[in-house]
A and B are shown apart, each in its own frame.
Chain A
């Protein structure tokens, strides 16, 4: 949990701050007409962040970090016979090694997504203020005015699903690695690619089913 959760806070903070800033600036760039209230910028930015950017874009980046870590860790354990050593001792290696990773990832990724959403919104709000695109008050007015509570639930459902996908897919590729160091690298790459594709696929499926 510490490795997957706390270890990923740094990258989440960096990505989220820039995501929020870019969304605000780009939304403001497109809404140039004086007929539309400036608070709409806050609404669009906050909704985009909560619905899509925090749960999906952040998780895609986490898939690269956590997915490759899990796959390469298990792959190395496999080729260095550490998994065989566990089996010989009578330990159910997949339950011992994989289950905690799935639990940690499924619990910690939603927390990281919550952090990401807050940071993105706040960075968007401050960047709007500094650049003069939208004031803090207008930004927050828009964000609150068009707030639908189900969006938070939806984001958490997505984050939990994606957390499970990242840990289970990368564990599978790592656990069944065969060969040497080259194959460990291949397993890690494959795990990340498959995770990303599945995340995007389930992003669509969940949106279609739940919205």
Chain B
């Protein structure tokens, strides 16, 4: 479980995060949603310590406050974190295999054979075969994301962070990636946090949804509650697309018909 308490972050005079508090449940797929510029990425990068915050607390597993932790503790905790970046962030100069084996080389004493077994296991888990020797620039966007996921889970992390995993992907590949994230979360009992503004992802995988609007928490709850939420900003965000507007209208009509009967 990850608990965020009263998190504030400013860049100069501009306050990006305004007193965010949330609890990301263990073993669940937690989603941070919001429009572009709402502070999703800053929140996620603050939680993993890539961006120092102005005030607040980030508590991992009920006992470790990431804000007041020393360097050694931070390094230790980060070994339990896997992250998929928006642009995948694969190391350009390394092949797929070397990208995935990298954390094992840095932090384990496994033999080469053991490491390769683990690499192949992770690549198979993300449905990638015969790509071991390819370089990142030889992969498609979806494949890069999958290699990024394989690298993120290779150390058996407790926490998985995914920053806009569907950005730049076609709808079909987005569904594959969403399903993969959800399956991995359930399979390994990982606490997963996903940043997204893709409503399909929200409806597919969101066990807990946190909605940010201009750096503030405007709504939180389960994906099943989201369609009937009364928060104006959330509704504007969800029903910006025609598809979801039609679903909303159908729902409203159905409810009113049932009421009239």
Residues of A within 8 A of B (CB): 76-77, 80-82, 84-85, 87-91
25 CB contacts below 8 A, A to B, read A76-B92, A77-B92, A80-B92, A81-B85, A81-B87, A82-B89, A82-B90, A84-B50, A84-B83, A85-B85, A85-B91, A87-B49, A87-B50, A87-B78, A88-B48, A88-B78, A88-B161, A89-B79, A89-B102, A89-B103, A89-B106, A89-B107, A89-B155, A90-B75, A91-B106
| Cβ-defined contact, B86 with A81, below 8 A | yes
B103 surroundings in chain A (CB, below 8 A): 89
B residues less than 8 Å from A91 (CB atoms): 106
Cα of A91 to Cα of B71 in the assembled complex, Å:
11
- By a CB distance below 8 angstroms, the chain B residues around A89 are 78-79, 102-103, 106-107, 155
| Cα(A77)–Cα(B91), bound, Å | 8
In the complex where A88-B48, A90-B75 touch, is A81 in contact with B89 (Cβ < 8 A)? yes
- Central interface residue in A77, A84, A89, A90, by most chain B CB within 10 Å: A89
Q: Give the A-binding residues of B (Cβ under 8 A).
A: 45, 48-50, 75-76, 78-79, 81-83, 85-87, 89-92, 102-103, 106-107, 155, 161
CB distance from A71 to the nearest CB of B (A): 16
Among residues of B, the one whose C-beta sits closest to the C-beta of A89 is B103
Contacts of A81 in B (CB 8 A): 85-87, 89
- Shortest distance from the beta carbon of B106 to any chain A beta carbon, whole Å: 6
- Since A88-B81, A90-B75, A90-B79 are in contact, a sample of 8 more A-B pairs with Cβ atoms closer than 8 Å, ordered by chain A residue number, is A80-B92, A81-B86, A85-B83, A88-B50, A89-B78, A89-B103, A90-B107, A91-B106
CB atoms of B78 and A80 under 8 A apart: no
Set of chain A residues within 8 Å of B92, measured between Cβ atoms? 76-77, 80, 82
Q: Are A84 and B85 in contact (CB under 8 A)?
A: yes
